[in-house]
Structure 1
Amino acid sequence: MSKLQLSVAVGNYDRIRPLVDGEVQIEGVDPVFMLQDPEEIFFRAFRHADYDVCELSLSSYSVKTAAGTSPYIAVPVFPSRAFRHTSIYVRADRGIERPEDLKGKRIGVPEYQLTANVWVRLFLEEEYGVKASDVTWVRGGYEDASRVEKIRLNLPLDVRLENAPEGKTISGLLADGDIDAVIGPRAPSCFDRGHPQVKYLFDDPHKTAAEWYSRTRLFPIMHTLGVRRTLAEQHPWLPGALLKAFEKSKALALSRLGDTSATKVTLPFVEDQLRAARNLMGADFWPYGFASNEHVVNRFLERHHAEGLSSRRLEARDLFHPATLESFAI
């Protein structure tokens, strides 16, 4: 039997490299990998379903799944996870010293429904009492004014969302003082350039995130892996084969990360960061699979629906192919 030739669009992560480099094989598949930025993958996936297998925004995928219009079915592989306490950037001249000070402010976002922003709004409300209706949201491209929201939204009436002025970018508005803060998965360029009036909201976002994890046991999921639904129906073995291969690839990447005889990444003290992550979160601090992540996905879906982003309250198992909800044991 000849192998399936499939297009696979993912980010260029260390946990993906063993697959891309051919060290780990996907059983029954001859993959053509395309290493792209998330913005390109998501745009092409949700607008045109360009790929056979691809990384998917958890939020956009949840919107589509709730509506019954997703061309993809997910596998519980999570190529991107991140604590998003580093995702809030504020003007230093607006008296914003605590999260509570965001109330009444104008906050820029590249897209309202981005997964990172859902997680930020979750902890802002649950930890600090800042609701989505307490601020005015300004939507626009970080650096390109032509960026649009990929997914049509139906938000609660008390949420104020407006578009950035024509030709203006979110980074430019923050730099000029026309908005008070930005929330998003990337740092705005004015922050990266060291703008004197732009700073993190949290003085030590890594410490704040670690304390939050200790209380909640939530390591936020940003992206999952999708396979074209028609392919999964035609080849029911495929979702399981993808999960198995991506698990092997991640395990190989982590074993290399822990080999500090010659550091594999261009970062000093990586062994200390690895040790700290395992002390806080356990040996498998970046778990794949359904059982290990059901509680994280359900917390996200609960918030997602409460914000009016998903048309119905999904359960975690609704997102994933049935064949990947459990695994064999020996």
Structure 2
Amino acid sequence: MAKTLSIATKPYPHTAFLSEPGFSAGGHGVDLATVDPIYKAFAPMVRELRYDLSELAIATFLQAREAGAPISLLPVVLSGDFHHHSLTRWPGSAEISPSDLAGQRVGVRAYSQTTGLWVRGILHEEFGVDAKDVNWVTTEEPHVATYVEPTNVERTTGKLLEVLERGEVVAAVLGPPALDGASGPLVPIIPDWREAEEAWGTRHGTVPINHVLTVRRDLLEAEPRTVSALYQAFGTQIEARKAADASPGPRVRALRFGVTDEFVAGLQTAIDYALQQNVIRTPVTVAELLDDFARHLGEHA
């Protein structure tokens, strides 16, 4: 009997096909891991290769690749969003402008969290605030165990929303799960953030990538047709979801399948921001990130 493939993804509409009875790829059944929130699958993937395929934050993938983890990127974006609205303060707290954050304490779940990557890039690009000039207060360690955080990163206890409420930080970077689950309206710090987000998207030609699809390199090398079948299945569902929405918001617009101009632009901007912030320290090209995909799936994709 063919090996059952272990896959870790969040249950999005475009991943529901994985749990359909009888779904298989290349003769392999699928064991869908139950991981909630999905970011708790990231450390086991990059440290232990626990899954055959896994959703992975783009910042985590960049760090894992730099650390030599045998994981390959597939050109599939499972989630993304604009992030100007992700930089928030607690209701009733003192007003502060983005340009005043230098020298201040700002919370983020982990320095290598992808939402933090995008927010720090925005602060530098649009407000002249460099990542090294802010004291980043975190509640979790990096997913990649060998990554050494910058010296202006510290750890605290509790959940990030609690840290923000306690006033230990003047602002916090909160990803979609935390923002969606917050009790009461948090206050975005960036003014006119909706317009600023769309302007960023026009300037960069993309919506920021949060999570991509990755595969163990040994599986990709040994069974490219199996991986191709899964890749195509993800693509079919992503394209169907996008086509079904007549007026898609940024979270749907962010979904990608294939090496499109938008996907390449998203990767390049993530690389640029990551190098700028010491999230990674070794330059890398988009072509290098996609080399395994091109070599092993080029004729099958």
- TM-score bracket for this pair, using the shorter chain length: 0.7 to 0.9
Give, in whole Å, the separation in 2 of the partners of 1:208 and 1:133. Answer: 23
Alpha-carbon spacing, 1:324–1:220, altered in 2? closer, same or farther (3 Å): farther
Give, in whole Å, the separation in 1 of the partners of 2:8 and 2:123. Answer: 32
Q: Which has the higher helix share?
A: 2
Give the match for residue 241 of structure 2. 253
Q: Does 1:290 align with 2:262?
A: no
Alpha-carbon spacing, 1:323–1:314, altered in 2? closer, same or farther (3 Å): same
Alpha-carbon spacing, 1:219–1:80, altered in 2? closer, same or farther (3 Å): same
Query: Displacement, 1:111?
Result: 0.3
Give the match for residue 143 of structure 1. none
| Alignment TM-score, normalising by the size of structure 1 | 0.79
Helix, strand or coil for the counterpart of 2:257? coil
- Aligned residue identity for 1:318: E
Conserved in 2, the CA contact under 8 Å of 1:108 and 1:181? yes
Give, in whole Å, the separation in 2 of the partners of 1:5 and 1:87. Answer: 38
Give the match for residue 182 of structure 1. 172
Give, in whole Å, the separation in 2 of the partners of 1:189 and 1:83. Answer: 13
Give the match for residue 53 of structure 1. 53
Give the match for residue 289 of structure 2. 319
- Stretches of structure 2 lacking an aligned partner (at least 5 in a row): none
Aligned to 1:163, which of 155, 159, 162? 155
Query: Displacement, 1:252?
Result: 2.9
Q: 1:4-23 to 2 correspondence within 5 Å? A: 4-21=3-20
Give the match for residue 194 of structure 1. 184
- Aligned residue identity for 2:142: E
Give the match for residue 70 of structure 2. 71
After superposing the two structures, state which structure 1 stretch, 15-24 or 306-315, moved more. 15-24
Alpha-carbon spacing, 1:28–1:298, altered in 2? closer, same or farther (3 Å): farther
State the Cα deviation string for residues 263-319 of structure 1 (Å, max 9, x = none). Answer: xxxxxxxx5x43x769xx9xx763211243112201211221232222311111222
Q: 1:77-156 to 2 correspondence within 5 Å? A: 77-91=76-90, 92-96=92-96, 98-140=97-139, 147-151=140-144, 152-155=146-149
Helix, strand or coil for the counterpart of 2:56? strand
Give, in whole Å, the separation in 1 of the partners of 2:70 and 2:220. Answer: 11
- Stretches of structure 1 lacking an aligned partner (at least 5 in a row): 141-146, 259-270
Helix, strand or coil for the counterpart of 2:278? coil
- Aligned residue identity for 2:74: V
Query: Displacement, 1:117?
Result: 0.9
* Number of matched pairs: 295
Alpha-carbon spacing, 1:233–1:125, altered in 2? closer, same or farther (3 Å): same
Alpha-carbon spacing, 1:285–1:177, altered in 2? closer, same or farther (3 Å): closer
- Aligned residue identity for 2:32: F
Give, in whole Å, the separation in 2 of the partners of 1:34 and 1:73. Answer: 19
Give, in whole Å, the separation in 2 of the partners of 1:327 and 1:286. Answer: 23
Helix, strand or coil for the counterpart of 1:232? helix
Conserved in 1, the CA contact under 8 Å of 2:77 and 2:254? no
Helix, strand or coil for the counterpart of 1:237? helix
Give the match for residue 44 of structure 2. 44
From the CA coordinates, give the structure whose radius of gyration is larger.
Answer: 1
Helix, strand or coil for the counterpart of 2:4? strand
Conserved in 2, the CA contact under 8 Å of 1:290 and 1:325? no
Give, in whole Å, the separation in 1 of the partners of 2:112 and 2:258. Answer: 25
Q: Does 1:240 align with 2:228?
A: yes
Conserved in 2, the CA contact under 8 Å of 1:240 and 1:323? no
Query: Displacement, 1:186?
Result: 4.1
Give, in whole Å, the separation in 2 of the partners of 1:246 and 1:75. Answer: 10
Give, in whole Å, the separation in 2 of the partners of 1:149 and 1:290. Answer: 28
Give, in whole Å, the separation in 1 of the partners of 2:49 and 2:73. Answer: 14
Query: Displacement, 1:184?
Result: 3.0
- Aligned residue identity for 2:153: L
Query: Displacement, 1:12?
Result: 0.6
Give, in whole Å, the separation in 1 of the partners of 2:161 and 2:134. Answer: 18
Query: Displacement, 1:67?
Result: 2.3
Conserved in 2, the CA contact under 8 Å of 1:16 and 1:249? yes
Alpha-carbon spacing, 1:324–1:121, altered in 2? closer, same or farther (3 Å): farther
Conserved in 2, the CA contact under 8 Å of 1:85 and 1:202? yes
Q: Does 1:308 align with 2:278?
A: yes
Helix, strand or coil for the counterpart of 1:246? helix
